[in-house]
Amino acid sequence: MTVSGVPGFDTPSFGLPGQHLPAQTQYEDGAIVDGVHYHQHDIVIVGAGGAGMRAAIEAGPHANTAVISKLYPTRSHTGAAQGGMAAALANVEEDNWEWHTFDTIKGGDYLVDQDAAEILAKEAIDAVFDLENMGLPFNRTPDGKIDQRRFGGHTADHGKTPVRRACYAADRTGHMILQTLYQNCVKLGINFFNEYYVLDLVMTSVDDGKGGFIDQPSGVVAYALSTGELHVFQGKAIIFATGGFGKIYKTTSNAHTLTGDGVGIIWRKGLPLEDMEFFQFHPTGLAGLGILLSEAARGEGAILRNSEGERFMERYAPTIKDLAPRDIIARCMATEIREGRGGGPNKDYVFLDITHLEPAVIDAKLPDITEFARTYLGVEPYTEPVPVLPTAHYAMGGIPTNVAAEVLRDNTTVVPGLYAAGECACVSVHGSNRLGTNSLLDINVFGKRAGKNAVEYVKTAPFVPLPNDPAADIRALLQMLRNSTGTERIAVLRKELQESMDSNAQVFRTEETLTEVTEVIENLRERYKNIAVQDKGKRFNTDLLEAVELGFLLDLAEVVVYSARSRKESRGGHFREDFPLRDDENYLVHTMAYLSGDAGSADAVDHIKLSTKPVVITRYQPMERKY
């Protein structure tokens, strides 16, 4: 049997359900057995971005907690978030959490689970105050309250007018959140294992008390970048907070490290992924680069214009214009370009215009994004409009969880002791399109919930025994990659994947384009069997890690495309030109993708099975989405 999810490698599988591996008593904390280091903690958190560190702050004072990160924590991608964090504080204008709930549901094109949206909006207020009490330096109103600004899709009184709901720290809100959370983790003495790359979730088959077996998480296997040694972290509870997978696309706002490792690991364990076809394309990435210019610019009054100087969003969304939800604006921009109203020599971008704003306002509230325009495009935002184009930004889908952040093995069954939060998770609070500022809110609300619920779980849960030699599969995989003598270069395959995803599965999709990218991925899987890792060493072997990351990217791109082919409608971030209408009768359901059979097969149907999951509707029935 091939490694589940790793194309073409004939190595043992990663403990798929039903193997019932022989278990042994737990390894002693600090033990080194056959060169593998063993650690034992009550709670093991994978990922040190906003969600992971917020979970750690909740868990650390009550349980022995470890945070494992492939990066130094303050380099996590949360720091790239710019614009703000939504909460109905009503500090500047009248607002309430019910309006926030409605905007989240409507913005997600009614694929949002409404019980989750209510929790997000209600707990948003305390989430902001938590950060304020931790020391986060929010911008302030003249009377000292947390200042708030407008953001796309956020309205007062159920869509009647834009509202100032985004709490912010200039255009560095994510950076400030990340620094604040890390400082508080240090204050609490949280155990960090930085530059440790988690490659596997260890599952142990245990007696379910009903005459059968159930697979439970018992730990994770990590590769220490500085030494090349393997480490096994045994935990009563495991929290995944590993972020997104935007690097399946070429034009993306995501950092190079966002290769979907956590989501890919869950997929390879035979657990499902939810709503993977829904990927958000942020309207204002720097043209040709994808580096993000925050929606905060439009919140402060920036205007999108075509090559004729027209404020074209007035035609598409006359009520809230440039503050329409991201999926709508991205499609409108693409339409303007398609119809010949794009700018530049190739007419392939539109413009973000802030020249009418006072330089003092720009400097005070938008310092980073204007500097990006100067540095990367040589454009002076004071006097020139900035070329922008939609960029792959955020995965709405991911690891399915309930509102307690517990991971699900099907539509309802919880995997005991396994949690997920942040972009890697699908609650589903974003539905088919996430509203701006709800991501920083999501990591704080559900990161906190993950930590809190993990603490309650470990109070009574025992350590699940590890299987014998839990690092064996990863050791074999890494050795095989190091010893590879193929002719295919990792960077070449990754580039071909990303370019095909950009061309065929971005803002607009059809059966034809999705079929084309499916065939590209199948071909890349075959070529991946013949990759060459040039660096044969152990210390900081980024060539080796990029080979592993490429495997995850191929897995996740295939699930995205296969799920998109099955959804024959347009909704949120998923727009099918051959099925341009939303179809609630047939598709008001979540897509659940399962790994089935041999992931090394060239036939996607052989190893991806799809089912559906009902959308939770409490108060708001689906209606036409007008802005």
Catalytic residues: 326
Annotated ligand binding at 307? The verdict is no
Annotated ligand binding at 77? The verdict is yes
Rg (CA), the chain: 23
Annotated ligand binding at 84? The verdict is yes
Annotated ligand binding at 87? The verdict is no
Structure tokens, 28: 């002693």
Alpha carbons 439 and 424: distance in angstroms, whole number = 11
Annotated ligand binding at 72? The verdict is yes
Annotated ligand binding at 400? The verdict is no
Annotated ligand binding at 116? The verdict is no
Q: What is the dihedral of CA 518, 521, 522, 523, to 10 degrees?
A: 120
Pure H helices in 403-464: 438-458
Name the residue type at position 416. P
Handedness of CA 277, 369, 84, 81 (dihedral sign): positive
Strands (E), 544-584: none
Annotated ligand binding at 268? The verdict is no
Annotated ligand binding at 75? The verdict is yes
Annotated ligand binding at 80? The verdict is yes
Alpha carbons 389 and 153: distance in angstroms, whole number = 19
Annotated ligand binding at 41? The verdict is no
Annotated ligand binding at 219? The verdict is no
SS3 (DSSP) at 621: coil
Annotated ligand binding at 602? The verdict is no
Alpha carbons 562 and 604: distance in angstroms, whole number = 8
Annotated ligand binding at 431? The verdict is no
For the purposes of burial, counting CB atoms within 10 Å of the CB of 160, is it exposed (0-12), middle (13-18) or buried (19 or more)? exposed
Annotated ligand binding at 83? The verdict is yes
Q: Helix 511-528 vs helix 542-566: angle between axes, to the nearest 10 degrees?
A: 150
Name the residue type at position 272. P
Alpha carbons 46 and 193: distance in angstroms, whole number = 10
Annotated ligand binding at 78? The verdict is yes
How much of the chain is helix, strand and coil, in % rounded to 5?
35, 25, 40
Q: CA geometry: angle at 260 spanning 256 and 264, to 5°?
A: 150
Annotated ligand binding at 170? The verdict is no
The DSSP symbol for 429 reads: S
Annotated ligand binding at 543? The verdict is no
Annotated ligand binding at 555? The verdict is no
Annotated ligand binding at 212? The verdict is no
Pure H helices in 108-172: 114-134
Annotated ligand binding at 15? The verdict is no
SS3 (DSSP) at 137: coil
Annotated ligand binding at 261? The verdict is yes
Strands (E), 77-229: 85-86, 148-156, 161-167, 191-194, 196-207, 213-224
Structure tokens, 236: 């009563």
Q: Which residues are annotated as a binding site for FAD?
A: 47-52, 69-84, 261, 423, 439-440
Q: Which residues are annotated as a binding site?
A: 47-52, 69-84, 261, 282, 294, 393, 423, 434, 439-440
Q: Which residues are annotated as a binding site for substrate?
A: 282, 294, 393, 434
